[in-house]
Amino acid sequence: MKKTKQLIACLTLMAIGLGSAHADYALNLMQGVTQVSNDLYDLHMLILWICVFIGAGVFGVMFYSIYHHRKSKGHVAEQFHENTTIEIIWTIIPTLILIGMAIPATKAMLELDDVKEAQMSIKVTGWQWKWEYEYLDNGIHFFSSLDEASNKARQVGSGVDPRSVPHYLLNVDKPLVVPVKTKIRFLYTAADVIHSWWVPDLGWKKDAIPGYVNEAWTSVDKPGTYRGQCTELCGKDHAFMPIVVIAMEKPDYDAWVKKTKDELAKANDVSDLSHDELVAKGAEVYAKNCSSCHLPGGEGVPGAFPAISGSALVNGDINAQANLILNGKGMMPAFGKMLNATELAQVITYTRNALGNKKGDEIQPKAIQALQGGTAVVESKAAEAPKEAAKVDVKAKLSKDELLAKGKEVYAASCASCHQADGAGMAGTFPAITGSKLVTGDIKNQVALMSNGKGMMPAFGTMLNPVDFAAVVTYTRNALGNKVGDMIQPADVQPLLAKK
């Protein structure tokens, strides 16, 4: 009786909620603003009504039989075993129903993948935690991040009521702008971990996977603003990675393209700025790009994200700090790809003269641009890395001491930022190496996991050569509190990596 009352109370509250906040308790798919989304809606409704018809028929016959052939009316159950005719009927009818459902479903799937005859192409790259958009037809390129109002409101202790922020966590600083009634091809990839790009009004979502390119297309029927978000759990700021698509009539879109190109040209201005200008603007750049990890006050998160306040790097050689920010390291992305020279100069100057630091120096956009020129040389050398990797002698037998020495260097460069220098890991985020069942277990299982990656762990099989890979595996099994005593040679690693 108590459970019955609870059920009635729940149903009553649900009914009240549905009546007062329909948008929060939608019971059906949305139709969207594209032909694809409407076709998917129609397919959904077709399958739904087929299921309703089947359910009504099956349960109707069942309830009729139970009621009219009950024992109290004197009915006696028939005794029979097999009926070939009935078995044939209940095999053929479901088969025909499934074929009838498969035809429109297959048509919709083929339509989703048909990117032929696209009139423009946009490359979408997922980053922790923002989106990069590159219009392949006109050269426009920018990053889209959570808008400033939402970013301030989401901070712990901000004192801002999220309900006072329009489109809280669903607004961005730079939306993706597209023309209506134009077939647009999207190319999806990611720079770090798996993300997923989803705007419900478009009718589909696509995963953005590092080292892989997914395709999709859309053609928006009517102008408007359409919102979505990342739907793949991609790290600590996954919830703060919204998507905003603005569809415009063609003349308005052409005007936006011209305006955006002019703004991008101005952004390349590397004129010197005063010290106060650098610091003031740097505070805005820091709040948008750095505060989510290093925290608004620069105190960082012990064991995960280093503090800016009192940092030896920030208070040391300014060029060393600039190079780290430009090229990234460990979990820190390469901001040289995200920010222009002026923004980089501003945020570097800010961190050295705020957040508890009083270095007193500065760096100008021209100096950053010069360092970026140097970065290009580094990238050029990186492009030659596969050729150098080919020269690595994977057949050479290395001693255990050689593997351990080399492995210590590889671990410090590639693993310590997450699993910590001593292998202690970070509880709830990055597993410990010390005492790990994987590391102290079958060496082939460890190699397979490191090669293919898992969750936030990248696929090191595509990042390390066999010598470095064998060295770091051997090191983790014989250091950092582990004493397995075994080892693996590059020649043994190479075929395991090739299975990826």
Among 113-117, 242-246, 304-308, 413-417, the least confident range: 413-417
Asked whether residue 114 carries a pLDDT value surpassing 60, the answer given is yes
Asked if the model's pLDDT at residue 499 lies above 90, the reply is: no
Percent share of the chain, pLDDT over 90: 35
pLDDT for 4 equals 66
Average pLDDT for 76-88:
83
d(CA 104, CA 336): 47
**What is the secondary structure of 226-269 as a DSSP string?**
EEEEE-S--STTGGG-EEEEEEE-HHHHHHHHHHHHHHHHHHT-
Asked if pLDDT for residue 25 goes beyond 60, the answer is: no
In this predicted structure, the answer to whether residue 105 has a pLDDT above a threshold of 70 is yes
Mean confidence (pLDDT) of the chain: 84
333-340: average pLDDT: 82
**Does the pLDDT value for residue 303 go beyond 80?**
no
pLDDT reported for residue 388: 39
Range ranked top by mean pLDDT from 165-174, 292-301, 328-337: 165-174
State which H helix or E strand residue 325 sits in. helix 318-327
CA distances from 5 to 8, 111, 154, 327, 478 (A): 5, 48, 39, 62, 62
Question: Kind and range of the H or E element at 214?
Answer: strand 214-218
**What is the residue whose two structure tokens read 């790809």?**
337
Taking Cα atoms as reference points, which of 415, 254, 404, 264 lies closest to residue 342?
264
- pLDDT value of residue 208: 94
Across-strand partners of 190?
Answer: 126, 210
Signed CA dihedral, 444, 446, 448, 451: sign only: negative
Q: Is the pLDDT of residue 283 over 60?
A: yes
Give per-residue pLDDT as tens, 243-264.
Answer: 999 999 999 999 999 999 888 7
Q: Convert 310-320 to b/e letters by CB count within 10 Å (16 or more is b).
A: ebeebbeebee
Q: Which of 82-86, 102-106, 186-190, 478-482 is predicted with the least confidence, judged by mean pLDDT?
A: 82-86
Kindly tell me if the per-residue pLDDT of 282 is higher than 60: yes
Task: Answer whether 314's CB lies under 8 Å from 357's CB.
Answer: yes
Q: Are strands 120-127 and 184-190 parallel, antiparallel or unpaired?
A: parallel
**Joined tokens for residue 254:** 């052409």
Report pLDDT for 376.
34
Q: How many CA atoms lie within 13 A of 177 on its CB side?
A: 19
Do the Cβ atoms of 166 and 149 come closer than 8 Å?
Answer: yes
Closest CA to 289 of 129, 172, 141: 129
Calculate the CA dihedral of residues 408, 413, 419, 423 and round it to 10 degrees.
20
Provide the sign of the torsion angle of the four alpha carbons 430, 434, 436, 442, taken in this order.
positive
Instruction: Answer whether 267's CB lies under 8 Å from 340's CB.
Output: yes
pLDDT-derived band at 409 (thresholds 50, 70, 90) equals confident
Residue 247: exposure state from Cβ atoms within 10 A (0-12, 13-18, ≥19): buried
The pLDDT, as a whole number, for residue 151 is 86
Question: What's the confidence (pLDDT) of residue 455?
Answer: 64
Q: How many residues does the chain have?
A: 500
Q: What pTM, to 2 d.p., does this model score?
A: 0.61
Of all residues in the chain, what percent are helix, strand and coil, respectively (each to 5)? 50, 15, 35
Contact 271, 364 (CB under 8 A): no
Does the pLDDT of residue 391 top 60, yes or no? Answer: no
Residue 64: half-sphere exposure toward Cβ, Cα within 13 Å: 6
Q: Which of the residue ranges 360-364, 405-409, 423-427 would you say has the lowest mean pLDDT?
A: 423-427
Site of tokens 């190699």: 447
Report d(CA 343, CA 365) in Å as an integer: 8
pLDDT tens-digit map of 462-498: 778 888 889 999 999 999 999 999 999 988 888 877 5
Report d(CA 50, CA 54) in Å as an integer. Answer: 6
pLDDT (tens digit per residue) in 6-21:
667 666 655 554 444 4
Lowest mean pLDDT among 100-109, 119-128, 310-319, 326-335: 326-335
Instruction: Out of 168-182, 188-202, 282-296, 379-393, pick the least confident.
Output: 379-393
Own/partner contacts of 91-99, CB < 8 Å, gap of 24 or more, are: 97/50, 97/54
In the chain, how many H helices and how many E strands?
16, 10
Integer Cα distance of 281 and 104 in angstroms: 55
Reading across the β-sheet that carries 120-127, which strands appear in turn?
Answer: 141-144, 130-135, 120-127, 184-190, 214-218
Q: How far are the Cα atoms of 75, 285, 316, 373, 402 from residue 336, in angstroms, in the given order?
A: 83, 13, 20, 11, 35
